């Protein structure tokens, strides 16, 4: 067992837990475990975490942490995000080493998706 301390869990506020869970299920195939009416957890997504009921959201432009997904096909993922009700915050753009886009889910939390190429 390692003595290294590492990131293990992340939590986000969600104004609408039902819509947020449905978005991540539709767009990324996530499963959730509810713990009462105000908390829902996800596992096996690279980093475990959950959403708690609150009238707040995490936006990178306001200093919130930005979690970035990896996709081998960024355009396919872009289409799934839009079809599932995500809002594109920043269109696909190139950077040294790849490309990415930013989106917000129905409760307003901002995420990004990156890939090596389009």
Taking alpha carbons only, the member of 48, 80, 67 closest to residue 110 is: 67
Q: Could you identify the residue written with the tokens 């753009």? A: 93
pTM, full prediction: 0.93
Q: Point out the least confidently predicted range of 1-10, 81-90, 101-110.
A: 1-10
pLDDT at position 17 over 80:
yes
User: Sorting pLDDT into bands at 50, 70 and 90, what band is 1?
Assistant: low
Could you tell me which CATH class the domain 9-115 is placed in?
Answer: alpha beta
Q: What is the pLDDT of residue 4?
A: 87
User: Sorting pLDDT into bands at 50, 70 and 90, what band is 3?
Assistant: confident
Tens digits of residue pLDDT in 46-87: 999 999 999 999 999 999 999 999 999 999 999 999 999 999
Please state the rounded mean pLDDT for residues 24-46.
97
Please state the rounded mean pLDDT for residues 88-115.
97
Q: What share of the chain is helix, strand, coil (3-state, %, to 5)?
A: 20, 40, 40
Instruction: Judge contact between 39 and 53, C-beta under 8 A.
Output: yes
Q: Where are the domains of the chain?
A: 9-115
* Complete DSSP assignment for 82-103: HHTT-EEEEEEEEETTEEEEEE
User: Sorting pLDDT into bands at 50, 70 and 90, what band is 117?
Assistant: confident
């Amino acid at each position: 067992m390692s003595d290294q301390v590492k990131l293990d869990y992340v939590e986000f506020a969600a104004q609408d837990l039902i819509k947020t869970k449905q978005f991540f299920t539709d767009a990324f195939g996530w499963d959730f475990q509810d713990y009462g009416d105000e908390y829902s957890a996800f596992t096996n997504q690279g980093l475990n975490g959950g959403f708690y009921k609150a009238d707040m959201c995490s936006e990178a432009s306001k200093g919130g942490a930005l979690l970035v997904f990896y996709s081998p096909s960024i355009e396919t993922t872009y289409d799934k995000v839009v079809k599932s009700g995500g809002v594109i915050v920043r269109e696909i753009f190139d950077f040294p080493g790849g490309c990415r886009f930013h989106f917000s889910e129905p409760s307003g939390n901002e995420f990004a998706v990156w890939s090596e190429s389009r």
